[in-house]
Structure 1
Amino acid sequence: MQAKSEAVSRSILSASSSRPAGLLRSMLLGFTIAIASVAVASPSQASGGPGYAGIVVDAKTGNVLYSENADTLHYPASLTKMMTLYLTFEALESGRIKIDSQVPFSAHAAAQAPTKLNVRAGGAVTVEQAILSMVTLSANDSAMALGEYLGGSEENFARLMNNKAHALGMTRTTYRNPNGLPNTAQMTTARDQARLGMALREHFPQYYGYFSTHSFQFGNRVIGNHNRLLGSVRGVDGIKTGYTRAAGFNLVTSAQVDGRSIVGVVLGGVSTPARDSQMRKLVATYLPQASVRNGPGNLIAQTAPDKVAPQKSIPVAPDANAAAARMAIDASTTKSIPTQSANYEPSPPSSETAFATITPKSSNPLVVHKAHQQDVPPNQVASIAPSYAEASTDTTLVDAVTTGSTRQKSAKNDTSPDGWVIQVGVSPTKEMASDLLDNAKSKGGKVLGSAKAYAVAFGTGSSQVYRARFSGFEDQQEAVNACNVLKKSGIKCWASAQ
Structure 2
Amino acid sequence: MSFSRFLRSLSAVVLAVSLAACQTAGAPSQSGASSGQAAAVQTASLPVVSYAPATAQERGFSALVLNAATGQELYAVNADAPRFPASLTKMMTLYMLFESVSSGENRLSSPLNISANAASQPPAKIGLKAGSTISVEQAARALAVKSANDVGVAVAENLAGSEAAFAREMTQKARALGLSRTRFVNATGLPDPAQVTTARDMAKLGLALKRRFPQYASYYRAKSFTYNGRTFRATNNLLGKVQGVDGLKTGYVRMSGYNLVATARRGGKQLIVVVIGGQSETARDAEVTRLIEAHFQAG
TM-score by length of 2: 0.79
User: Are 2:289 and 1:269 aligned?
Assistant: no
Match of residue 198, structure 1, among 201, 204, 207: 207
What amino acid does structure 2 have at the position aligned with 1:226?
Answer: T
How many correspondences in the alignment? 242
User: Looking at CA atoms only, which structure, 1 or 2, has the larger radius of gyration?
Assistant: 1
What amino acid does structure 1 have at the position aligned with 2:172?
Answer: N
Q: Any conservation in 1 of the 2:59–2:257 contact (CA below 8 Å)?
A: no
User: Are 2:145 and 1:136 aligned?
Assistant: yes
Distance in 2, Cα, partners of 1:220 & 1:98:
23
1:254 aligns to what? 263
User: Are 2:109 and 1:103 aligned?
Assistant: no
What amino acid does structure 2 have at the position aligned with 1:269?
Answer: G
Alignment map for 1:39-438 (pairs within 5 Å): 51-289=60-298
Q: Give the secondary-structure state (helix, strand or coil) at the position aligned to 1:129.
A: helix
Distance in 2, Cα, partners of 1:137 & 1:210:
11
Distance in 2, Cα, partners of 1:269 & 1:177:
22
Distance in 2, Cα, partners of 1:137 & 1:89:
17
2:34 aligns to what? none
**Runs of 4+ residues over 4 Å off in structure 1:** none
Cα distance change, pair 138–90 in 1 and its aligned pair in 2 (3 A):
same
Q: Any conservation in 2 of the 1:250–1:268 contact (CA below 8 Å)?
A: yes
Unaligned 5+ runs, structure 1: 1-48, 291-498
Q: Any conservation in 2 of the 1:243–1:249 contact (CA below 8 Å)?
A: yes
Distance in 1, Cα, partners of 2:240 & 2:275:
19
Cα distance, 1:287 vs structure 2: 2.8
What amino acid does structure 1 have at the position aligned with 2:234?
Answer: N
- Structure with bigger helix share is 2
Cα distance, 1:50 vs structure 2: 7.2
Cα distance, 1:208 vs structure 2: 2.2
Cα distance, 1:108 vs structure 2: 1.1
Cα distance, 1:157 vs structure 2: 0.5
Q: Any conservation in 2 of the 1:254–1:263 contact (CA below 8 Å)?
A: yes
Deviations 1:186-224 (A, max 9, x none): 000000000001101111111222111111111221111
Distance in 1, Cα, partners of 2:155 & 2:198:
24
Distance in 1, Cα, partners of 2:161 & 2:71:
35
Distance in 1, Cα, partners of 2:116 & 2:59:
39
Deviations 1:62-102 (A, max 9, x none): 11000000011111000000000011111111221010111
Q: Give the secondary-structure state (helix, strand or coil) at the position aligned to 1:206.
A: helix
Q: Any conservation in 1 of the 2:59–2:256 contact (CA below 8 Å)?
A: no
Share of identical aligned residues, percent?
A: 47
What amino acid does structure 2 have at the position aligned with 1:204?
Answer: F
Q: Any conservation in 2 of the 1:212–1:230 contact (CA below 8 Å)?
A: yes
Q: Give the secondary-structure state (helix, strand or coil) at the position aligned to 1:207.
A: helix
Cα distance change, pair 50–240 in 1 and its aligned pair in 2 (3 A):
closer
**Bigger relative contact order (CA 8 A; separation at least 6):** 2
Distance in 1, Cα, partners of 2:211 & 2:141:
20
Cα distance, 1:129 vs structure 2: 1.0
Distance in 2, Cα, partners of 1:251 & 1:77:
10
Deviations 1:123-148 (A, max 9, x none): 11111111111111110000110011
Distance in 2, Cα, partners of 1:134 & 1:118:
13
What amino acid does structure 2 have at the position aligned with 1:176?
Answer: V
Cα distance change, pair 50–149 in 1 and its aligned pair in 2 (3 A):
closer
Q: Any conservation in 2 of the 1:260–1:288 contact (CA below 8 Å)?
A: no
What amino acid does structure 1 have at the position aligned with 2:210?
Answer: R
Unaligned 5+ runs, structure 2: 1-57
TM-score by length of 1: 0.48
Distance in 2, Cα, partners of 1:229 & 1:80:
19
Distance in 2, Cα, partners of 1:215 & 1:54:
27
What amino acid does structure 2 have at the position aligned with 1:117?
Answer: I
Distance in 1, Cα, partners of 2:276 & 2:234:
19
Distance in 1, Cα, partners of 2:167 & 2:214:
24
What amino acid does structure 1 have at the position aligned with 2:163?
Answer: E
What amino acid does structure 2 have at the position aligned with 1:154?
Answer: E
Distance in 1, Cα, partners of 2:216 & 2:145:
15
Distance in 1, Cα, partners of 2:79 & 2:184:
18
